Amino acid sequence: MRILSGIQASGVLHIGNYFGMMRPAIALQVEGEAFYFIADYHALTTVRDPKALRENTRGVALDFLACGLDPERATLFRQSDVPQVTELAWILSTVAPMGLLERAHSYKDKLARGLSATAGLFNYPVLMAADILIYDSDVVPVGKDQKQHIEITRDLAAKMNETFGPIFKLPEPRIEAATEVVPGLDGQKMSKSYGNNIDIFSDEKETRKRVMSIVTDSTRVEAPKDPSRSTIFQLYSLVASKDQIANMRERFQKGGTGYSDFKRELFEKLWEYFAPMRKCREEILADKSYIDNVLARGAERANQVADHVMTRVRAAVGL
Ligand code: ADP
Ligand code: TRP
């Protein structure tokens, strides 16, 4: 089984990225041949500062490694170290129906948030399809917001197969039900573009501040509270043990504890949960060439697979 996923180099990673995509991807690395990459071509649709893009790319590699990606098991690489993927994106774009891309939620969301309608933003799902198909991927672990992109990938693969004969496998999304949408400070989907994020590796003061600013309703301290509608409880459920979760649920329902006490408990658990990752991150940072070496090895392996698939694609389409 080949497993593949990517994460954009558009900023620092938050706990929504961790529970929605990174943790499932890291868990899968022992189940098959995993390929994980930092999507710097995709990030170019929003990042226009070369220094920031370069730094974010290394930063994402660092954080992914610190969170448990094992470069002996999984191939970690930069998307742009495999430029053939842009060639495949072009080929796929020649069969991609405009209507299919016009219906993409993420494109419409981005325009609604004020990004300008560039061809790159519009073609984003085509490049993502190329990322997936160029490694003959079987399974793609992602958060729920990426589901439609995987459906578009399957549509494009099927269209190519129909037109030119069997070239591509049809990949399956792998979306963890329990963490498909991790809520942010305001209860909406956590996202760096909504500013409602809690980052995995911010310092203690900042993390505490973010947790304490989770939006709550005006239920009084003594009154019972509904755990299922609380962001505090949902986030706590990601990092606490079964017993601790049951205990917090009971205290929500009983009343008598205020939201700020629950927030303090959440902060403690969250801080403790990521402690081993913070330690690992320090160790990686101490070895100056570690990240570059991992990415260089990753690029080499990814290129082997991509070259192999592209030979097949070029022959099939007549290039
Ligand atoms: P952002 O929305 O912050 O820009 P990305 O789009 O870069 O995040 O997401 C990278 C990966 O993390 C994707 O697989 C995405 O589905 C997952 N992800 C991002 N935010 C969340 C969230 N709040 N809950 C679950 N998964 C998420
Ligand atoms: N679009 C994905 C995101 O924003 C990143 C991505 C690019 C990706 N190419 C991919 C994810 C291929 C999975 C497979 O999170």
Residue recorded with tokens 């730094």: 55
Is 146's C-beta closer than 6 angstroms to any atom of ligand 2? yes
Task: For 50-75, write each residue's pLDDT tens digit.
Answer: 999 999 999 999 999 999 999 999 99
Amino acid at 187: G
Pocket test for ligand 2, best of 14, 41, 80, 131 (most atoms within 8 A of CB): 131
The residue ranking higher by pLDDT, 132 or 193, is 132
Closest ligand to Cα 194 = 1
**Tens-place pLDDT, residues 30-44:** 999 999 999 999 999
What is the CA(251)–ligand 1 centre distance, in A? Answer: 31
Q: How far apart are the CA of 250 and the centre of ligand 1, in A?
A: 31
Task: Catalogue all structural domains in the chain, each as residue range(s) with its CATH number.
Answer: 2-181+289-317 (3.40.50.620), 202-273 (1.10.240.10)
Please give the order of strands across the beta sheet that includes 139-141.
Answer: 74-78, 33-39, 2-8, 139-141, 172-174
Whole-structure pTM value: 0.95
Instruction: Report the interhelical angle of 204-212 vs 259-273 (nearest 10°).
Output: 140
pLDDT in tens, 295-317: 999 999 999 999 999 999 999 99
The pLDDT of residue 193 is 84
User: Is 10's pLDDT higher than 90?
Assistant: no
Ligand 1 centre and the CA of 155: distance in Å? 22
Q: Look over the chain and give the mean of its residue pLDDT values, rounded to a whole number.
A: 96
Percent of the chain with pLDDT strictly greater than 90: 96
pLDDT band at 189 (very low <50, low <70, confident <90, very high): very high
Structure-block tokens of residue 97: 């129906």
The confidence score (pLDDT) of residue 309 equals: 98
pLDDT band at 275 (very low <50, low <70, confident <90, very high): very high
The arithmetic mean of pLDDT across residues 246-265, rounded, is 97
- List active site positions: 110, 189, 192
Amino acid 11: pLDDT: 84
Ligand 2 pocket residue status of 6, Cβ below 6 Å: yes
Q: Report the pLDDT value the prediction gives residue 48, as an integer from 0 to 100.
A: 94
